[in-house]
Structure 1
Amino acid sequence: MDGSRRITIQTIADEAQVSKSTVSCYLNGRTEKMSAETRERIARVIQKYDYRPSAAARLLTAGRSCLLGVVVCDITNGFANRLVKGIAQVCRESGYQILVGTSEYDPDAELLHLERMAGMKVDGVILQPTGQPDASLALLRRAGVPVVCIDSKPEGAPLWVATSNYRSTFDAVSACLRMGYTRCLLLSAEPGLLTSRQERCQACLDAAAQAGAPCHAELIGADTPDSEILRLASQGGGRTLVFVPNCWLLPKVFRALAPLHGEIPARLGLLGFDNEEWAEFSVPSVSTIVQPALQEGASTAALLIDNLLGKPGIPQNATLACEIRLRGSTSGG
């Protein structure tokens, strides 16, 4: 075959002396109305040029792109990495490719990603919302793009997959308080409208109240000086349990508390979320509530794809259980 010549469906049609629509019917297996001679003529030309139709073109003709959009809050986060890995595994097995964007917790960036993904004709979207995603959900509805929210249960989202944030936090904080800690220090990023943050913070407050332990809550962020975190942890009498509900803040708090590591777990306890890549191996090892991120990503992708394929009896949402791993930072290991 002449490598300089681009072979198209029109090329096949011209040489076989048939129409493009006849070749298209042949390629899609609709040959019942064709004569044997026409079928053989098309087959000879296709074999001559070793013609393979563009999969993308065929999918677009059928109204499908086999592309799914994925928007997460922070792609550098280990939890988000595992979410995307779980999504990618299921998509690959189902014949889908993914486009990944990161919003950096910025609603405008989230909207921009979704606008561009809708413009690229993705079949569906998996969204880790930055907050209450009314504008994002409205945009996708207008574009006719199905969406499943992940790691959050925002009001108005028809489909979502999340983890047992409240129950797991309540159980973990309660277990630590039973080890003899007499007060809680909740160090959290702004809960805002993120349901996962709200549930974790509320669960800590409720567990402390049930145990009769005072709980002091402080908002911190990436720019909070280590000295301020150290000051907060040094206040108050008795044994203090420090709870960090944000997985991206736990490493910062652990480093800031370095001058007090010798007092862990006797006077000071530390409990956080995820960070399994280092929490088990640090000194002291850190107690964590571990989300099944890989499973959560896979379950979300499966839920979206099953809905796209119109499978009957599909659940509208799912809550996956977390695992509590108590280690040296709370006398748990």
Structure 2
Amino acid sequence: MKSVSEIVFGGIFMKPKGITIADVAQRAQVSPASVSRYLNGVEGNLSAETAQRIAQVIEDLGYRPNAWARSLKTQRSGLIAAVVADLSNSYVPAVLHGIENITNSAGFSLLIANAQNNPDHESYLVERLLNQRVEGILLQPSSNKLTPSLRSLITNNIPLVLIDRLMDDVDDWDMVGLDNAGAMHLALKHLESQGYRKIVYVTDPPDEVSSRREREQTVLSSYAQWEALQIFVRRDNDPSGLIAIIDQMLAHSNDESTAVVCSNAVTALYAVKAIELCGCRIPQDMGLIMIDDPDWAPFVLGGITSVAQPTFDLGNQAAQLLVDKIQQTGISSPSHTRLSGSLVIRHSTINSHRLKKE
């Protein structure tokens, strides 16, 4: 298995084996220097007839310039990289669509590298991408720690924009992400309006990911408004720990409605499994809401209520900010842009306890 997962949108031009500038020049009956001038857009000394003849030969032979060799001369590779924490997370491809929209229109090819939620692998990928002479990097960090490889981006003045997550001890990198506190407030306000009084919050380990910390802190700050609040940190796929908490919560419910709040779509699927293993039904026995709105959300359990992230806009804005930095057309001072989530109400938060009382 390859250690670097790369997807190239728009293509990287590489010359077919055996076809060289010399071959083009010989067929077009011009010098290699004339072909080089044509390829680099310097056609001042070429007649229109000569330029047309070179173009026709290039098309006939299927010649494509060697992008690597040209980048050495021009100091421009035309490459932007997106390093993501986990490509299997449905959130990530949605963001990449927004990124691709900008890189295509700006004339850049996009390399995508999957860090597999491993900071060491992320460092390795960054080193590889620097060797590929990328002009800028979009980074969704696997951790909030500044590794030597990431520090080298600062040393080498490589433009970088963070996606959704901040880094500790780094203030001079731009970031575009969700307003995590606002998104969680939307979820909690909805549950309260539906009559839920007890909540279990399910999250992946929050310590090293800023977006998780922000969501957890928002839940904790709402403690006073709930009859009971439990935090469960998912560290593996074993649902037994969450099952125990749900059983405990329901055993002392006194007919007060309980809901599970999930930090993302991955923990939501984990919670669904645990709730079903408890013998509970959603929403008859327990409500469920999550941050993020993957494609499958409307089809599971009659529809899971969610706070949708503006994933396309997030990727779009992050990529545009990076392109502006590369082309030096944007603002130089770092900015942190927060985009609002939107509540999508579905079947999973219909509070049957409240309906019975009414």
Smaller-chain TM-score range?
0.7 to 0.9
Tell me which moved more, 172-181 or 68-77.
172-181
Taking the TM superposition and a 5 Å limit, the aligned residue runs for 1:256-267 are 256-259=274-277, 263-267=281-285
Contact (CA 8 Å) 1:174, 1:208: kept in 2 or not? no
Corresponding position of 2:9: none
Q: C-alpha separation between the residues in 2 aligned to 1:267 and 1:48?
A: 71
1:28 is displaced (CA, Å) by 3.6
Shift of 1:41: 9.2
Gaps of 5+ in 1: none
Correspondence for 2:291: 273
Distance verdict in 2 for CA 1:208–1:7, change over 3 Å:
same
Aligned to 1:319: 338
- Sort the Cα spacing of 1:60 and 1:228 in 2 relative to 1 into closer, same or farther, 3 A: same
Q: Which segment is superposed worse, 139-148 or 97-106?
A: 139-148
| Counterpart check, 1:228 vs 2:246 | no
Displacement of 1:134 in angstroms is 1.3
Give the aligned residue type for 1:220. R
Which residue in the other structure is 2:215 paired with? 200
Deviations 1:155-196 (A, max 9, x none): 415111101111110221122023222222112111012111
For residues 208-251 of structure 1, give each alpha carbon's deviation from its aligned partner in whole angstroms, at most 9, with x where no partner exists. Answer: 33x24432112123332x33322211213232221110321211
For 1:70 and 1:232, locate their aligned partners in 2 and report how far apart those are by CA, in whole Å.
Answer: 38
CA deviation map 1:100-150 (0-9, x unaligned): 111121110110010000001011111100121412431212333211110
Tell me how many residue pairs correspond in the alignment.
324
More deviation in 168-177 or 134-143?
A: 134-143
1:109 aligned to 2:117? no
Contact 1:148 1:160 in 2 (8 A): yes
TM-score, normalised relative to structure 1: 0.85
Q: Distance in 1 between matches of 2:279 and 2:192?
A: 19
Question: Is 1:126–2:126 an aligned residue pair?
Answer: no
Secondary structure at the counterpart of residue 235 of structure 1: helix
Please give the secondary structure, in 1, of the residue aligned with 2:83: strand
Assess if the C-alpha contact under 8 Å between 1:16 and 1:42 holds in 2: no
**For the residues of structure 2 that align with 1:40 and 1:278, how far apart are their CA atoms?**
56
Q: Give 1:319 shift.
A: 1.2
Write the deviation string for residues 247-272 of structure 1: whole angstroms up to 9, x where unpaired: 21211111221145754335422111
Aligned to 2:54: 46
Q: Which runs of 5+ in 2 are unaligned?
A: 1-15, 353-358
Correspondent of 1:168 among 180, 183, 186: 183
1:127-166 matched pairs, under 5 angstroms: 127-135=139-147, 136-155=149-168, 156=170, 157-166=172-181
Amino acid at match of 1:76: S
The CA distance in 2 between the partners of 1:179 and 1:125, in whole Å, is 43
Paired residue secondary structure (2:185): helix
- Partners of 2:181 and 2:218 within 8 A in 1: yes
Relative to the length of structure 2, the TM-score reads 0.79
Residues 7, 49 of structure 1: 8 Å contact kept: no
Q: Does 1:74 align with 2:86?
A: yes
Distance (Å, rounded) in 2 between the aligned partners of 1:66 and 1:47: 22
Which shows bigger deviation, 196-205 or 317-326? 317-326
Using the TM superposition, name which of 161-170 and 84-93 deviates more: 84-93
Q: 1:223 to 1:98 in 2, by over 3 A?
A: same
